[in-house]
Structure formats: structure tokens, C-alpha cells
Structure 1
Amino acid sequence: MSETQKSQKLLELHNQMFISPQNFSYRWGLGYEELAKICSISKSTTYHWLGGQASRRAAGLPYQRIMAVADFLLANTEVIQPLLEQWHQSQPPN
């Protein structure tokens, strides 16, 4: 398999990654505030995702994908943390 094909397969798998806010927050013991930081949204929005039935809103697929990627990173932290630190050090300063 060529590098291009490997990259395409990886992107296809990424595009199939989704997790609900309820499952993600329960799995990692996160509240509204932490979830808001991960998704770069307001606490109010995450409140509506996790709140009671009367105020419940569905999270859009892009946010479910963000949570799925975060779930993958957290579940594989032993392997990924050194790689992320290496990547961060190679980035130009803001």
C-alpha cells in the first residue's frame, strides 16, 4: 500500500469517528466546563448537550468527531503523549 493510500485510509477512518457528549463525559468523568474547553465552545452549549430532556440539544457531528479524537488520545496517552510533546516542540512559536 502506498503512502498516499495509507493517508487516504487514515482519513476515511477519522471521518467515521464519533462519540456522543454523554458517553464521552461519562467515560472520562468530565463536566460542562472541561467539555467546553475540549470542543472550544461555551459552557452553555455543553450544558444543553448534557442537560435534562427539556433543554437537551444534539451535538453536531463535527463536535462528536472532536470528542472521538480526544477519546482516542486519552485512551492511548502512554503512546501519544511523547509524540504530542515532540510535535509541540517542533511548532513555531505563536
Structure 2
Amino acid sequence: MARTQKHQRVLQLHNQMFISPQEFSFRWGIEYEELAEICCVSKSTTYHWLGGQASRREAGEPYQRIMAVADFLLSHAEQIHPLLERWHTN
């Protein structure tokens, strides 16, 4: 597969990555404050994502994609951490 085809395939897969705030929060044991930092939104927004039925709001697809990428990074932290360290120092 050519390099551009691989890049296109990765982007296609990325566009199909979604995880709900509830699943992400449960999987990683985080509260709404940390989720707000990860998604770059207010604590109030994540409170409503994780809140009870009366105040619950759905997270938009872009935020579900951010959580999916964060989930992937956390799931593969041992392999990815050295790469991120190198990227950060360049």
C-alpha cells in the first residue's frame, strides 16, 4: 500500500473512532474535571455529559473523537510515551 493510501486509511479510521464520556470516564476512572481538561471544555459541560438524566447532554462527535484518541493513547502508553517525549523535545 502506498504511503498516501496508508495516510488516507488512518484518517478514515480516525473519523470512525468514538467513545462516550461515560465509557471513557468509567474505563479510566476519571471525573468531570479531568475530562474537561482532556476535551478543552468547561467543567460544567462535562458535568452535564456525565450528569443524571435530568441534566444529561450528549457529547458531540468531535469530543467523542478526542476521547477515543485519548483512550488509544492511554491504552498504548508504554509504546507511545517515548515517541511523545521525542516529539515534545523537538
Interval containing the TM-score (normalised by the shorter chain) = over 0.9
CA distance, structure 2, for counterparts of residue 13 and residue 80 of structure 1: 18
CA distance, structure 1, for counterparts of residue 57 and residue 37 of structure 2: 18
Query: Which consecutive residues of structure 2, in runs of 5 or more, have no partner in the other structure?
Result: none
Matched, 1:85 2:85: yes
Matched residue, 1:38: 38
Residue 54 of structure 1 deviates from its aligned partner by 0.1
Question: What amino acid sits opposite 1:56 in the alignment?
Answer: R
| Percent sequence identity over aligned pairs | 74
Aligned residues: 90
Question: What amino acid sits opposite 1:39 in the alignment?
Answer: C
Residue 68 of structure 1 deviates from its aligned partner by 0.1
Question: What amino acid sits opposite 2:20 in the alignment?
Answer: S
Residue 72 of structure 1 deviates from its aligned partner by 0.2
Please provide the CA RMSD for this pair: 0.3
Residue 19 of structure 1 deviates from its aligned partner by 0.1
Correspondences of 1:1-94 after superposition (within 5 Å): 1-90=1-90
Normalising by structure 2, we get a TM-score of 0.99
Normalising by structure 1, we get a TM-score of 0.95
Query: Which consecutive residues of structure 1, in runs of 5 or more, have no partner in the other structure?
Result: none
CA distance, structure 2, for counterparts of residue 8 and residue 86 of structure 1: 25
SS of 1:44's equivalent in the other structure is: helix
